[in-house]
Amino acid sequence: MNRLLISRATAFVHKILQEKIQIGNIVVDATMGNGNDTIFLSQAVGSNGKVYAFDIQQKALDITYKRLLEANCNNVVLIRDSHENMGIYIKEKIDAAVFNLGYLPKGDHKVITKPPSTIGAIKSSLEILKTKGILSIVIYYGHEGGAIEKNSVIDFLETLDNKKYSVLKCSYISKEKNPPIIVFIEKII
Ligand SMILES: C[S@@+](CC[C@H](N)C(=O)[O-])C[C@H]1O[C@@H](n2cnc3c(N)ncnc32)[C@H](O)[C@@H]1O
């Protein structure tokens, strides 16, 4: 009882993903950033698994590449392209995909995820997601343009067929201004 579980959105998301992801799985980090999720996913799927990680900024690839080397992770494909193009690079079904929306922490706060490409990427990942596979989305929206993206993504998720997908939205009551929203989508059939 000495560890915080829900206080950091990403720690909570990792805990849920850890329950689902297995050694040998194929997974996607749709928003690589500083590589925190990429490293988590790489370790969760092990050397027989594979992680496809996307970002549009070379800086994200450079930081993540260095961290992966240091952590001895050699099961990650780093791709500098927009996540909505994942179908060009991924020719197999995936077990999970992780989205962390917003800007690169310690990077250019003007380069942000945007509704058309984010929704395009969510659609692309749902198309290649295996039955019983999972998507997680952490929505940070305190920055300029963030609220528009949050609303567009939630509006889109509300259109998903509830016979095919379980969609869970978790929001903080007790947090600071604009606390992140966490979404999980599980493919039922
Ligand atoms: C909140 S950060 C991700 C944080 C990251 N998961 C980590 O562990 O550090 C969002 C990232 O999404 C990237 N991004 C923005 N638009 C993108 C797009 N269309 N395709 C892929 N990545 C994008 C940004 O460059 C930024 O690095």
pLDDT in tens, 84-108: 999 999 999 999 999 999 999 999 9
List the domains of the chain with CATH numbers. Answer: 9-187 (3.40.50.150)
Mean pLDDT confidence for 57-67: 98
* Mean per-residue pLDDT over the chain, rounded: 97
Residue whose Cα lies nearest atom 3 of ligand 1: it is: 33
Q: List, chain by chain if needed, residues with CB within 6 Å of any ligand 1 atom.
A: 31, 33-37, 54-57, 60, 82-83, 100, 102-104, 111, 113, 117
Percent with pLDDT over 70 in the chain: 99
pLDDT score, position 3: 86
Band (78; pLDDT cuts 50, 70, 90): very high
Give dist(CA 95, CA 134) in Å, integer: 7
Residue-wise pLDDT tens digits, 102-146: 999 999 999 999 999 999 999 999 999 999 999 999 999 999 999
Which of 103, 10, 27, 107 shows the shortest CA–CA distance to 62? 107
Q: Which atom of ligand 1 is nearest to the CA of 112?
A: 15
45 neighbors 26 (Cβ within 8 angstroms): yes
As a whole number, mean pLDDT of residues 38-52 equals 98
The helix (H) or strand (E) run that includes residue 184 is strand 181-187
pLDDT surpassing 80 at residue 59: yes
Give, using CA atoms, the residue closest to atom 20 of ligand 1: 82
* Cα 142 from chain centroid (whole Å): 18
The answer, yes or no, to whether residue 38 has pLDDT greater than 70, is yes
List, in sequence order, every residue forming a beta bridge with 70; answer none if it has no partner: none
Q: Contact 93/26 with Cβ under 8 angstroms? A: yes
CB 181 within 8 A of CB 156: no
Name the residue with the closest Cα to ligand 1, atom 18: 82
Q: Which atom of ligand 1 is nearest to the CA of 140?
A: 1
Q: Is the pLDDT of residue 1 over 90?
A: no
β partners of residue 29? 53, 98
How many angstroms is it from 1 CA to the middle of ligand 1? 33
How remote is the CA of residue 15 from the centroid of ligand 1, in Å? 21
pLDDT confidence of residue 145: 97
pLDDT score of 2 more than 90 = no
Calculate the alpha carbon distances from 97 to 79, 166, 187 in Å.
Answer: 15, 15, 12
Instruction: Please report, for the chain, how many H helices and E strands are present, in that order.
Output: 6, 7
Give the helix ranges, DSSP H, for the chain. 9-20, 36-45, 58-70, 86-89, 115-128, 146-157
Smallest Cα–Cα separation from 102: which of 37, 18, 42, 175?
37
d(CA 11, CA 16) in angstroms, rounded, equals: 9
> Which ligand 1 atom is at minimum distance from the Cα of 29?
6
pLDDT score of 60:
98
- Largest Cα–Cα distance in the chain? 45
